[in-house]
Structure 1
């Protein structure tokens, strides 16, 4: 009735806060952060408390990060690409100009 999941052997190299890490192709940028063992992906704007990805489905916004130079990206919704750079989001997110 159920078929086994195919093994993923392909990996890509991404950079999490400057450190190179190999992650399975098709994984999210948030998964790359967790695999890298990073201490945080963002800091809260008021207290500066560290946050890591939480829900992994785009609901909680705890995974906001700067990805390839673009801030305020939900890392759990962005698939990794070779050479991707994920940096922690620090402070309050900046709203887009009206």
Structure 2
């Protein structure tokens, strides 16, 4: 019974991880829009904090469509990292499950 519970939980974690990976990979434009708007907002806030006693406006226009923040590269890195994590988790869980099953045989 213990082996079944451990195996079921490991499979559930792997399934959830795979589903999250698929959702993330399929929503590239959503990530891109979020990344640019979040980065633009952060840069504006930092500029206003640094120049809090000044009436200056931002020296450059932070257009919401420009990728000043390497959002494309960040998305690609996140995809690679997510896939590698899923692969490592799969290998570790399968190997660990084999060891647990062999102990109870």
TM-score normalised by the shorter chain: which range applies? under 0.3
More strand by share: 1
More helix by share: 2
**TM-score normalized by the length of structure 2:** 0.22
**TM-score normalized by the length of structure 1:** 0.22
Q: Which has the higher contact order (CA 8 A, sep 6+)?
A: 2
Which of the pair has more CA radius of gyration? 2
